[in-house]
Amino acid sequence: MSFALAPPPFRPAWDYWRGLLQPGWSPYGNTARIVRRAAAAADSETLMLRPFRRLAEWQPGQHLTVGFELDGRRFQRSFTLTSLPGERDFALTVRRRAGGRFADWLAQAGAGARLQISDPWGGLAFELPQAPRRLLLAAGSGITAAMAQVRAAAARGQLAGLGLAYWVRERAQACFIEELHALQARFPEFRFRLFLTGDTPVAGHEADGRLDAGTLAALPADPAGAEVLACGPQGFVARVEALLRGAAARVATESFTPPLLRLPESPVASVALTLARSGRTLSIPTGTPLLAALEAAGLNPEHGCRAGLCGRCVCAKPEGVHVDLRDGSIHPEPSRALKLCVSAARGDLAIDL
């Protein structure tokens, strides 16, 4: 007689008991618990989180999608990692927003509260070591991506030739100012300037005005020939592109504002969406993002930024025609990289889900 080991017969029960024995373990991916939180500005705070499993290798400026489940529904948002790679705990600096299920839950979460987390993804990075200068431009929450690069450069002792320009409405909204002053004291060739659009400048490192042709001379480093990384709202990065694309050696931008999708102005017809793996067919409106249509049907596909950036909602499309709602382009060809969050069906459609 021979015996063979077999997996537990009731997997959900096994997952439940393992979760009790190992708090933080999840069959659906990594988790992290809040260790502490500290004020970062009048409307922002920094969360220190400890992952159940160490984060995969990541680069400064990359993002993390965090989420939780409430009443059977998943809520999630993406934030930039602001701590240095390799540390046990990691930091997320987040802006407090009134209203919204995610914001309300996060505002009340205390030490020990646990979030589901993705692997790090995306992110801005410098790629031209031969560029004579490096320039970081940040507006609002875009400072987190810039600060990740500043901290990484400081850890390498390579802040010479780096400039940071940071736009906020009121100085009370500015994060990391004391740390930036301390870094400038340690590295005199590092320059930063805070631009205020609602307050009057009173300190030497402050200036006023939005980014335009008139404020280019006030930047902490000359953008001509420089490598420029910019992060902020959609309008801000569009101005960066328009002003600096021809002058800088390289311009890379990232926006945390969801793209403006080209949705139909009037009611549209319904089409059949076939889910190839499950064999299920749904009736959905042609102008609705596929991710939203699937969620309306009670499904919860993997997703992250909802802006077509992170790639977490990518799936294959074996047949059918879809439209990219960011630019209105039509795609009749099969695809292995359809993004559910920014794509809509143009006719009957099949996806690998």
What is the rounded average pLDDT of the residues 222-226? 95
CB 200 within 8 A of CB 66: no
Banded model confidence at residue 177, pLDDT cuts 50, 70, 90 = very high
Which percentage of the chain shows pLDDT scores above 70? 88
Tens digit of each residue's pLDDT (9 = 90 or more) over 26-50:
555 789 999 999 999 999 999 999 9
The most confident of 251-255, 259-263, 301-305, by mean pLDDT: 251-255
CB 224 within 8 A of CB 288: no
The candidate with the shortest Cα–Cα distance to 218, out of 193, 190, 251, 191, is 193
* Whether residue 7 has pLDDT greater than 70: no
Query: What is the pLDDT, as a whole number, of residue 103?
Result: 77
Q: What are the tokens at 204?
A: 């030497």
Banded model confidence at residue 234, pLDDT cuts 50, 70, 90 = confident
What is the rounded average pLDDT of the residues 193-221? 94
Q: What is the layout of strands, in order, in the sheet containing 30-41?
A: 73-80, 63-70, 114-117, 30-41, 44-51, 90-95
Tens digit of each residue's pLDDT (9 = 90 or more) over 129-152:
899 999 999 999 999 999 999 999
* Whether residue 51 has pLDDT greater than 90: yes
* Whether residue 247 has pLDDT greater than 90: yes
Write the Ramachandran bin of 34: left for phi over 0, alpha for psi from -120 to 50, otherwise beta: beta
Query: What is the pLDDT, as a whole number, of residue 216?
Result: 94
Tens digit of each residue's pLDDT (9 = 90 or more) over 288-311:
899 988 988 888 888 877 777 777
- Tell me whether strands 44-51 and 90-95 are parallel, antiparallel or unpaired: antiparallel
Tens digit of each residue's pLDDT (9 = 90 or more) over 69-102:
777 677 778 899 999 998 889 999 998 876 667 7
Tens digit of each residue's pLDDT (9 = 90 or more) over 108-121:
888 889 998 988 88
Residues whose CB is less than 8 angstroms from the CB of residue 70 and which lie 6 or more positions away in sequence, other chains included: 101, 105
CA angle 39, 211, 239 (to 5 degrees): 110
Q: Please, what are the domains in the chain?
A: 11-117 (2.40.30.10), 134-255 (3.40.50.80), 270-351 (3.10.20.30)
Query: What is the pLDDT, as a whole number, of residue 258?
Result: 64
Banded model confidence at residue 2, pLDDT cuts 50, 70, 90 = very low
Query: What is the pLDDT, as a whole number, of residue 176?
Result: 97
Which percentage of the chain shows pLDDT scores above 90? 53
The candidate with the shortest Cα–Cα distance to 280, out of 267, 293, 266, is 293
Residues whose CB is less than 8 angstroms from the CB of residue 153 and which lie 6 or more positions away in sequence, other chains included: 159, 162
Q: What are the tokens at 319?
A: 């047949």
What is the rounded average pLDDT of the residues 257-281? 78
- In whole numbers, what is the pLDDT of the chain averaged over residues? 86
What is the rounded average pLDDT of the residues 205-231? 94
Query: What is the pLDDT, as a whole number, of residue 8?
Result: 46
CB 286 within 8 A of CB 346: yes
Query: What are the residue ranges of helices labelled H in 206-305?
Result: 234-244, 290-296
Phi/psi of residue 75, nearest 5 degrees: -120, 135
Torsion sign across C-alpha atoms 10, 11, 12, 13: positive
Counting DSSP H helices and E strands in the chain, the numbers are 6, 19
* Whether residue 281 has pLDDT greater than 90: yes
* Whether residue 351 has pLDDT greater than 90: yes
For the entire predicted model, the pTM comes to 0.75
Query: What is the pLDDT, as a whole number, of residue 242?
Result: 94
Cα gap 267→348, rounded to integer Å: 17
Instruction: Output DSSP code: residue 121.
Output: B
- DSSP three-state, residue 179: helix
